Structure 1
């Protein structure tokens, strides 16, 4: 079966669904404590809920969008889900993330990272959308891969946060620890996936060229 040629689809889908199922419910309770709201700024919590809910839509739909078998088998649904990804996912989540990222209580390092992430997320997604509308599907795919890397960066953000805590908990003053961990995890969370995505985009054409050269005439 052709979909089995992409064995990463199943594990990725499992991780994304499990992450959303675990992370989303606390934000829907209306309880700021359960939602782990760290800011006293009034609009922070409703904007955080919008960001989390819409980002959940983005990450769930994005997994379907990058699945080659689904794209090839159901192109009409690929286009419909793509609209959901952009209009109900990235656009509201990115705008809300831009505001709450600027208002973060975790210091200037995390603030710059959050704002830059939101700007790049919105920009890459818009460029992917524009390329698709112009039927420049090769460019659309490249920008969509970059957008996907930033969409799933919330998962790697959590991983880096745990690693930073384990490494720094005994070496950084307690008062400085939250901002230090936030600064490390926010930057590493999205820059590393984006660099990997860019490396993959630049490497794959070279690999195909080598394969063509080794095929006997």
Structure 2
């Protein structure tokens, strides 16, 4: 794997680890460890969905980054297929557990208003559908549709990373955490940014590769 690809993977790893670190702290607390993060009564009442969501999202975002590296796809296609199956399952578990928590956990309005609730339901369902469509596409040898669907699903799955970055930037700029409708807006905006980047990358995949111009022979 080239240095540029290692650099890209390292960047995605760090980017994904920011929210994952908080999730792993929560898992340790639920396992009986010391309480570091603020208490979460929802996690205490129903810990299984949040544990599944944390581990499946971490696997989908971290290991899933390897799937987009060109050298892995070209030089190790068998490994790409095997890891892809694991990633598809992890992504589905992440989406389903996220949908469950969105609908069945009771959130205060300061943490989730109606707009964020409906966007979470829509994007969770879309992520699940995109992964399923990607699996169907690769089985019918529709490579581009497979890659495009996984790019979009990955953009949705990486929402927590962008939300964390935006949230930290807001606290540094304003001095307090965004709450209520403002928080809903920042959370939704993070998904919009991710999907916009995904569409730019997908469009770049559609562009034909530039071939070097061959000079013609004299008189041609």
TM range (shorter): 0.7 to 0.9
Task: List gaps (5 residues or longer) in structure 1.
Answer: none
Kept after mapping to 1: 8 A contact 2:116/2:184: yes
Q: What's the offset of the Cα at 1:161?
A: 1.7
| Cα distance in 1 for residues equivalent to 2:13 and 2:88 | 22
Per-residue Cα deviation, 1:126-170 (whole angstroms, up to 9, x for no partner): 111110111111211111111221222221111122234455557
Considering Cα pairs closer than 8 Å and 6+ residues apart, tell me whether 1 or 2 has the greater RCO: 2
The TM-score with structure 1 as length reference comes to 0.80
Please say if 1:215 is aligned against 2:213. Answer: yes
Superposed, which structure 2 residues align to 1:65-214 within 5 Å? 65-87=67-89, 89-102=90-103, 103=105, 104-105=107-108, 106-166=112-172, 177-206=178-207, 208=208, 211-212=210-211
Superposed, which structure 2 residues align to 1:1-80 within 5 Å? 3-4=2-3, 6=5, 8-16=7-15, 18-19=17-18, 22-29=21-28, 30=30, 34=36, 36=38, 38-40=40-42, 44-80=46-82
Q: What's the offset of the Cα at 1:38?
A: 4.1
The 1:100/1:74 distance shift into structure 2, 3 A limit, reads: same
| Cα distance in 2 for residues equivalent to 1:168 and 1:155 | 20
RMSD: 2.9
Structure with greater Cα Rg: 2
Aligned residues: 207
The TM-score with structure 2 as length reference comes to 0.79
Kept after mapping to 2: 8 A contact 1:58/1:90: yes
